Amino acid sequence: MVEDKDMRDDEELDEPEEGGMYEHYKLEVDPGQKLLRVDKYLVNRIDNASRSRIQAAADAGNILVNGESVKSNYKVKPGDEVSIVMDFPRRELKIIPEDIPLNIVYEDDELLVVNKQPGLVVHPGHGNYTGTLVNALAYYYKDLPLFKTTDPRPGLVHRIDKNTSGLMVVAKTERAKIKLAQQFFEKTTKRQYVALVWGNLKEPAGTIEGNIGRSMKDRQIFTVYPEGDHGKHAVTHYKVLEELGYVNLIQCQLETGRTHQIRVHMKYLGHPLFNDDTYGGDQVLRGTTFSKYKQFVHNCFKMLPRQALHAKTLGFVHPVTGEEMLFDSELPDDMIQVIDRWRDYISNRSID
């Protein structure tokens, strides 16, 4: 399990380690992990970490494996406990409860399912310390023990991107959090997304498989590594729902859950998500050269100022009752409006 923290924004204050050192990160290497250099392993697992910074930390004796300092070329193996220690404590992050509206579609004593609106960051992090889903949950559940103001991710067992809308499950108790997290780890949950992508796919249905890891050229984005040990195994199944001229409406089912998985896999396939400004979908990638067509597309961008991606379906086993639970949500208004505009376009090509 990862205590998932940003290297620049450490969160909880620990007691000092032996020798006056403070633990900033602690990770346990997954059972299926292949032998991999510790510097590459940490770069893949920690947000905003550069390989040079990791190597410098190792040279300074700040990278520990099973309590012993190691060099950058040490190869981690399943079960290893990897720590990063510093001679200063982590900055304490206090979660400020905020009265942010939540679209709750289901709730009981153990969990709730929320339909997250686009633009809402899931948890606090660098540059986003307020206005997140966690701030909203801290307000809504201010009397529950799990939702402490010093825990940056209370009840969270998965997340979706800031500008992706859709369904998320949140635990309300520790036992629910453990059992739900196990289902996501074991890939037994059911998650289907709907996306609008550029271009007509060659096949009406298919599977995209390729490791996903941070780009070697730009650490802020992810890319597919079809071969080698870089990145994490990722599988996305897709099906075309509707062809809309120069874009397709598709359904994606996740077999794994990697950061930006659908966005990265569709970019790799040559069909970036419509208006995905991180992976090139915010350009006119298909269509005509007519100015009216270009204006039509840019008007669609304005109507949908984000990547066209919605987490539509979520299924899991209730952590206490054992009941199979399946939730489905309607597409948000901004996606519906743009899809309707494309339907109008293909029925009346005079828009060109």
Active-site residue numbers? 161
Cβ neighbours around 70 below 10 Å, total: 18
- Quick check: 238 and 194 in contact, CB under 8 A? no
Give the number of C-alpha atoms closer than 13 A to the C-alpha of residue 30, restricted to the C-beta side: 13
Separation between Cα atoms, residue 22 and residue 9, nearest integer Å: 14
- Quick check: 164 and 308 in contact, CB under 8 A? no
Instruction: Write the DSSP string, 63-74.
Output: EEETTEE--TTP
Give the angle 103-108-109 at the CA atoms, nearest 5°. 125
Separation between Cα atoms, residue 294 and residue 317, nearest integer Å: 46
271 closest CA partner among 196, 193, 217: 196
48 closest CA partner among 259, 263, 307, 305: 259
Cβ neighbours around 92 below 10 Å, total: 10
Nearby residues of 304 by Cβ (< 8 Å), 6 or more positions away: 274, 275, 334, 335, 337, 338
Dihedral angle sign, alpha carbons of residues 133, 134, 135, 138: positive
Instruction: Write the DSSP string, 101-133.
Output: ---EEEE-SSEEEEEEPTT--SS-BTTBSSSSH
